Structure formats: C-alpha cells, structure tokens
Structure 1
Amino acid sequence: MERRGVWTAVLILCSLSSTMVNISATSRTMRGSVPKNSKNEYYKERLRRNLLANGLGSTPPMGWNSWNHFGCQIDEKMIRETSDALVSTGLAKLGYTYVNIDDCWAEIARDEKGNLVPKNSTFPSGIKALADNVHSKGLKLGIYSDAGATIKIMNGIDYLKYDNCNNDGSKPPVRYPVMTRALMKAGRPIFFSLCEWGDMHPALWGFKVGNSWRTTSDITDTWESMVSRADMNEVYAELARPGGWNDPDMLEVGNGGMTKNEYIVHFSIWAISKAPLLLGCDVRNVTKETMDIIANKEVIAVNQDPLGIQAKKVRSEGDLEVWAGPLTGYRVALLLVNRGPWRVSITADWDDIGIPPNSVTEARDLWEHKTLRKLFVGNLTATMNSHACKMYVLKPIA
C-alpha cells in the first residue's frame, strides 16, 4: 500500500510564501538603484513579467469547449446556440462561463500581415461580433491557436488555448513565454491555457507562463483513457495552486462512451483534482442524466474551493483507491474509487487523509446529497459497484 499525506501541498505553499517575502525584501533593497523618474515604470514591468498579474484562475476555470464532441464541425451559429444553452440550462449560473472555440475556426491562408483569420464560410460575422454576442449573455469567449503559429489577439477574447502542433522544433519552455508576453500587452486579461500535452512537464515551469497547463495527451471518451489521464495528472498535484492549475484535458461526460457510473467517477476525479471543468458534450441537447452529473453543486464546490489544493491518491491497492485533499473550514474532500470488475468495500483511514485519528467526523455524501446519520471515528468504509465511486466532504466535529 502506498501512503502519501495530503498536506505536502500546504508545505509547498508555505515555502512559496516565504519565497515571496524574500523577493519582496530584495525588491526593497533594490529601490535605491532605480532612478526616481523610472520607479513607476520599473515596478509596472516587474508586475507584467508574472502572468498572475492578470488576476485570473483563482479557482479552476469552468465552461465548455467544442473539440470533444464536434471536432472541426463548428460554426458561429452553433457557438451562439451553445452559449444560449449554457444560460437556459442554468449551467452558466453554476460557473460554466467560458465558451471556447477549439481548432478549425481559422482559414488556412493568413492575411497580409501573417495573422490567422476566421473562416468566412463558418464564421462570416467575425470573432469580434461573436465575442460581443457571448458577452451580452454574461459569458466569456475562448479561442484556439498553436504554439507554432502567430495569432492576432482579437478584441473580446477572454481565454486562449495554445496547442503544441506545427511548432518550429524549439523547446516549449522557450516558445510558450513568447505568447505570455504578447497576452500581457493585449489590453485585457486573457486566461492562458498551455496545451503542451505534458511533453516537457509543464507543471514544473508553467506557473510563470500561464494559468493552466496540460499534463497529458488528448483524452478520449473511454474508461481506460479517462483513468490513465487522471493518473498522469495526479503526479503533479503538489504543483497546482490558485492562479495555475494542472489540466488532464476536457470532460467527456455526456458524449456516450462511458456508463453513468463511469462518468460520475470522471467528474468526481476532475473536481477533487482541481482540474478545469470544461464540458465537452453538446449542451444544446443535454440529457437529464448528464445534467445530474455536471450540475452537482456540491461536487463543483469541491473543485472551486478557495483553498485551491489539489487532492492526491493517498492510498491505493490494486483497483481500490483513496483520494483526498483539504478544503477550507478544516474539512477534507474524500473520494473512494473502485476501478475493478467486482462490487467491493473500500476503507479510508483518518491518518491517511489528514484527520487526527480519534476525531469524531461528520460525512456528507455528495452524490446522494445527504449527511450520513452515523458519525465516524478513525475511518470510513463504503461499498461500491465496479467502475464506481463514493465522494464525501468530511468535517471533524469533536
């Protein structure tokens, strides 16, 4: 059995805070060397060098992306209808506010300045008009480009997914900051999503470059693909924090390739992992079964908890897993996952998940939407079916 405490991330945050104090002190000692007339510009430039100055990503982004369901079959009518659906279904009020256009929106031929331009056949009104329409509904518009391509940041864009295709062979840690600097001069805050596929471990360097970074290759709508991306993403749990998030790729919930229980596991792992919650289904025709999953306010609240600490797989034995991570209010998010073929019981021990061993603890079942009558001391055991999970918020009360 593998044991790993969920509080390591807290130590890293403390270390980062100490580092920031040292940087601040260094900054004060340097003031005397900066010409008086240049002080304001000097400090503005230092601020611009850190993308956290955009004020975005304090919690993982939520919204929708076109790729998983539609691929290249997109046009401005569908994007407008999708933004309407996010509002009419109530998903926007739950936090799903980004409407992200993925690949295939641009013409192959660029304009005379070398910039990408929207396809006249599918986006005849242009991106600015589409952005205005999306903004009028209280939503935000995202767009796609490649790190091997130049792109003019059009007015109204709120999110950039920057892929790693068609690159010039230079290393991503060199190539991606070029766009970071361009976004800093865009005149509006733009969430920067590094879609680098985990090629050169962007979790190790992405925080100074963007607001999220892909830790995996593309997901597909299968159980095997989903759990493998969850595993790859979990390795970097300690490096996620407010302003910069690990991204195991977009959600497949509602696309039909997995069972309801498997989609619940998918959504639960992404939520407790503080992953971006970007829907990948057709929300214009969303079913009640899918809505019951993606509109679960209690699970979304775990993802959006302001403490911003990604959960870890604190114990695993074969197909049985215990995931846990701290929340605000001295609470703990707990996820028990059965990856195996049989119905089975899983036990979570307090000393694995960061609760003092003798604590009397209340458990809220997030998928049953009920607080269990029984109080728990030392551990909690639950039985679940194959490819299923149980998710709780635990609160010590004595």
Structure 2
Amino acid sequence: MLKGKTVVLGVSGGIAVYKSLDVVSRLRKLGVNVHVIMTKAATEFVTPLSFQSLSQNYVVCDMFEEPKTWDVEHVSLAKKADVFLIAPATANFIGKMANGIADDMLTTTVMATKAKVLIAPAMNTNMYENPVLQRNIKILKELGCNFVDPESGRLACGDTGKGKLASPEVIVNEVVNLLTQKQDLIGKNIIVTAGPTVESIDPMRFISNRSTGKMGYAIATQAANRGANVTLISGQTNLEVPKNIKKLIKIESAEDMYNAVLENLDDNQVVIKSAAVADYKPKNYSNKKIKKSDDDLSIELERNKDIAYEIGKIKKDKILVGFAAETNDLIENAKGKIKKKNLDFIVANDLTKKGAGFGVDTNIVKIIDKDGNITEYPKMKKEEVADVILDNVNKLLQR
C-alpha cells in the first residue's frame, strides 16, 4: 500500500534531530520515498550526508544553492509530497508557519504544498507550555494540520516535563495512517450529532447526562478525513472542533438539536445520531432561581421528541444510524430501537463494561443491522470504532 508514496521530511534545528534519522530509516523500510529538507540550524546537529545516505535522495538545505534539477525546487518537492512531515518542529518553525512566514527552503516548501501536514514538536517544557506557542499550534490545527504530541520525560536541558519528540515508531505510525487514509466518502454529505443535551430547570440548574461527545467527534473527524462534507451538531463539550468539517452547529437542548437536524436534513444523505439526547425535560421552566426550602422539591418532567424516531418517519432513502447505550438487555433494547425508529443499523454498547461508554477514549460495540445480523468488535479506540461505523455507512451508500 505504501509503494509509490512520498514523504517530504522537514527537519528544523534541535537536539532531537538524531531521532529523525530513525524516522527516515523506518519509512524507507516500508517502501516510502523520502525527501529531506533541513534548516540551517538543523545541520548544526546532524550533517545532511546522514539523511542523504538513509533517504537515498539528495538533501535540500539552502534556497539559493545550485539546483540539482531544472524544477523550481520548493514547488517540485511540495507537489511530490503525499504527506509533509516536520520532525522535529521547533517553536520558531511553528511560529513562522502559523503566521505565514516563508523565509527559508522549509517554510517556503510547506507553504506551497497541498499535502497532508504532520507536525511533531520538540522543545523545552516551558517553551511548549508558552501561551504564544499554544496559540500557534491551535491556529495550525484549525487550518487542518495534524500533530504528534511530544512526550513527557527528562529533556536534554536537564528539565523534566512535556516536550520530548515523540518516538520514531509513533511518528511513523501517524505518517502511515495519513498515507493509507481512505477517501471513500468524497462528496457525501453527513450529519453527525454529538455530546449531551441540557434541559434547564431554572437559570442555575439543569438536567443532563455524562456524555463527553468523544464518540461523535471521532465520527465527525474520521468522516471528514475520508472526504465527507460533515455537519456536526453538538451539545456542550470540552473537545476541539474536528478539522475540515463543513459546518459546526452548537446546541443546548433536545429541542435545539431536533430543529438543527431538521433544518439540515434535506442537504444530507446520512444522519449518524451519536448524541446522548435527554429523554425528558422539566415541564415548567422557572425564570427565577428556585429557592431552597425545608420541604422536598418535586419537578414534573415531560417527554422530549425522539429525534431519531421523527427522522425515521420522513427519511425516505436517507441512511439513519442510531446508538444504544445500555446497562442491561443490550441486544433486545437495540433491536427494538431499530424497528421503532426505522434505523438502517444501530451501534450498541454496554455502559457497564470497562473501556466502553462515556468519558473514555475507547469503546466496545456491537453493530446490528435491520435484518438482525450482529457483528461484535473488541475494545478499540473511538477513532477505530468511527471507521467501522463509516465502513458500514459506505456499504449502504454503494447500493
């Protein structure tokens, strides 16, 4: 799968440069063609000849050196890249890229590329935690750049903390993931709902649930990575907005989410209902804070609209995916939802299992289709579960 793929590796100046030699070696062993661009500072730590020997391609260091080919070199390399990796990426390089500065071969070439960009920072802990650096990282993430977070440990300066360049193995795995990313959902329009809803009791109090939105955000992220036009309708979360999504709609209540889904339904082919929507809301909202008294308090609740059920009545040829997060009778409850809500398939998970459910980075799911077929999956990262869900969606889209 990697034969014929090209990675352009940008190396900026830092003690971690020696690890990038291992990155080149690992990529070459996988059959990846590697071209290296070094900043002047990087050559003070490792010679270009070392990278040239491992990559088996000449190394570019200076914009104004005699060209090895008749191509405009920075444009030529930018076009060759399937992935543009910067490792290590210094605070100086990140600051330049975030602010559009192109004053050497590396910054000029990365500015000219349309390839996926992967950045692996490495620096002193205090530099990494500096608000300016964190702002620049945020800017680049919002522009669609991918990051390999640095590791924690003892740094070259003697300090201990976060800032070590990620291991070559981790960096190469991220590169491979980008090189092999499916692009099977290009042009498909998908709604993903995520996170909890909030049902207000008074200006201070509300009813909600434990959903963090991680599963829905993972689905939105992977769908966008696979080329889909994603509309993410999200309750309140502390998560970063996924890169490359078409539209983000933030909502609060179940009614807000219902209205947002209906308003966008006609423009989308798929609806993935991964949000944890409150089934009930207070029947009467108090405009003023309800004061504590010596008596017990009773709050009368009324049903919210079941969004998936309402969509199921009108979906026609649209694909509708539901979720069943249960603590008992998982299969029975999930199958009942498929029939009642006219779902194409449902993603069922048992909240009592360790590593499944809310607030964790993994999930353990069963996918049940409308014919009752059940496919069980082991514990996986939520991004992996998201790809499994999208694989099933894509099969339905191909019919």
Band of TM-score, shorter chain: 0.3 to 0.5
Q: Higher relative contact order at CA 8 Å, sep ≥6: structure 1 or structure 2?
A: 1
The TM-score, its normalising length taken from structure 2, stands at 0.35
The TM-score, its normalising length taken from structure 1, stands at 0.35
Larger Rg: 2
